[in-house]
Amino acid sequence: MILPLNPIDQPEAKLNLSTYGRTASDREYVFAVPQPDRLGKRHQPLRHKVFLGIIEGELERAGCKIVQQKYVLQDSSKRGGGPGLKDGNLFAVMEVHLPGGALGGHGTYAWIVGARNSNGLDFSAGVRLGRGVICCSNLLFAGGEIAVIRRHTGSVGQDLEIRLREALAGITDHQARIEQRVQRLRSIEVSADRAKVLSVDAHLAGACAGNQIPRIYREFIEPSYEDFAAEPCNLWRWENALTHIAMKDVSPQLVDRRSVELERFMDTLVEA
C-alpha cells in the first residue's frame, strides 16, 4: 500500500539523510527501480517500492502520519568479481507524528523512521523508529526502541509486515519510555571538563571519529542552534552536540552504526 504524505499543522524536522557524495533520490525514481533478479537459491529480493509500501501501510495502521521522507540510492557492492547491482541499496528517513499528533517532548525532537534495504546482499532489510533532533538537522534514531531486521530470504516481505505491525502495537509505551529518557538526560549536569571526557569515551565506543572530538566539545560549549544554547549544560545538550558533528557528511551505513553505538554508550550513562 503506497500512501501520500500527510501534511499536518506541526513544525517539520529538518531531515538530513547523508548522501555521502550521492544525490538524494526522489520518490518517483525510487519507486521505479525494478524488481532485481535473485542472487542465489535462498535469496529473495524485495523491491524498494514494496519495502516502503509495507512501512507506510503499517505506520498508517498504527495511527501515525508521515510528514516528510528522504531517500538515497546507491549501487550495491561487487559480488564474485562482477558489477554491483545498480540502485541495489536504499536508505530512507521519514518524519512521523504519532497517534494524537504527538511530536515529541519539549518541541526539540521528532519521531524518525530509518529504513534500509539491500537487494545486493550488502545488509538485511531493516526499520528503526525513535527520536530525531529537529534543530540540529541531523539524523538520530534510538536503535533499541523499535527495530525490525530481516534477511532477504523466503517470505521477507510478509515477515517484515508482521513484525513491524507487532512492534508498532506498543508505540505509546515506546513514546513514554523515550520521554522519560530525555528527562533523565536533562537531569544529569555535564561540566566542560566532563564534556571532554565524554567525547573521548564516545569515540572509544565507536559513536564518533577521533578527529571530531574537538568540534564536539566546541559545539557543546557554543551550540550552533538557539534551542540548545538556551539548554543548561547537561547530558541532553552534550548528546545533541555529538550527533550534530558525528552524523554529518558520512555514509548512511556509518550513520546507522554510530547511532547504535551512541545509544549503547548513552545507556551506560543513564543507568549509572
Q: Give the residue-averaged pLDDT of 203-231.
A: 92
Asked if residue 241 lies in contact with residue 219, where contact means CB atoms within 8 angstroms, the answer is yes
Give me the chain's average pLDDT, please: 80
Q: Which of 68-77, 101-110, 226-235 has the lowest mean pLDDT?
A: 101-110
Provide the pLDDT confidence category of residue 53 given band limits of 50, 70 and 90: very high
Instruction: Tell me the mean pLDDT in the region 27-49.
Output: 90
Contacts 24+ apart (CB under 8 A), 60-65: 60/1, 60/3, 61/165, 61/168, 62/99, 62/165, 62/168, 62/169, 62/171, 63/98, 63/99, 63/100, 64/96, 64/97, 64/98, 64/99, 64/111, 64/168, 64/171, 65/6, 65/8, 65/96, 65/97, 65/101
pLDDT digits (tens, 9 = 90+) for 76-130: 876 544 567 888 888 888 888 877 655 554 455 677 888 889 888 888 898 888 7
Instruction: Output phi, psi for 49, to 5 deg.
Output: -60, -40
The pLDDT score that the predictor gives to residue 5 is 32
Please answer whether residues 122 and 77 qualify as being in contact, where contact means their C-beta atoms are separated by less than 8 angstroms: yes
pLDDT at 4: 33
* pLDDT, position 69: 87
Kindly state the average pLDDT of the residues 46-62: 95
Nearest C-alpha neighbor of 29 from the set 84, 92, 78, 76: 92
Task: Give tens-digit pLDDT for 128-159.
Answer: 887 664 433 344 444 446 788 899 999 999 99
Tell me what pLDDT residue 190 has.
96
- What three-state secondary structure class fits 23? coil
CB proximity list for 213: less than 8 A, separation 6 or greater: 196, 199, 200, 203
Give the lowest-confidence range in 93-107, 189-203, 208-222, 240-254.
93-107
Q: Which three cell numbers stand for residue 206?
A: 565507536
The least confident of 41-45, 68-72, 233-237 is 68-72
User: What is the reported pLDDT for 119?
Assistant: 87
Per-residue pLDDT, averaged over 242-255, amounts to: 80
Q: Rg of the chain's alpha carbons, rounded to an integer?
A: 19
What percentage of the chain exceeds 70 in pLDDT? 78
User: Taking residues 219-241, what's their average pLDDT?
Assistant: 89
pLDDT at 108: 58
Over residues 27-50, mean pLDDT: 90
CA 265 to chain centre: 17
Phi, psi of 226 (to 5 degrees): -60, -40
pLDDT at 23: 52
Q: Running DSSP on this structure, what letter comes out for residue 179? A: H
- In this prediction, residue 249 has a pLDDT band, given cuts at 50, 70 and 90, of confident
- Does residue 216 surpass a pLDDT of 90? yes
Are 163 and 41 within 8 A, CB to CB?
no
Distance between CA 210 and CA 245 in Å, rounded?
12
Is-contact 204 210, C-beta < 8 A? Answer: no
The whole-number average pLDDT for the span 22-42 is: 83
User: Mean pLDDT, to the nearest integer, of 175-190?
Assistant: 87
Whether the Cβ atoms of residue 210 and residue 171 lie closer than 8 Å to each other: no
Distance separating alpha carbons of residues 50 and 43, to the nearest angstrom: 16
Strand, helix or coil at 16?
coil
How confident is the model at residue 11, as a pLDDT? 39
Question: What letter does residue 21 receive in the DSSP assignment?
Answer: T
What contacts 181, CB < 8 A, 6 or more positions away?
A: 142, 270
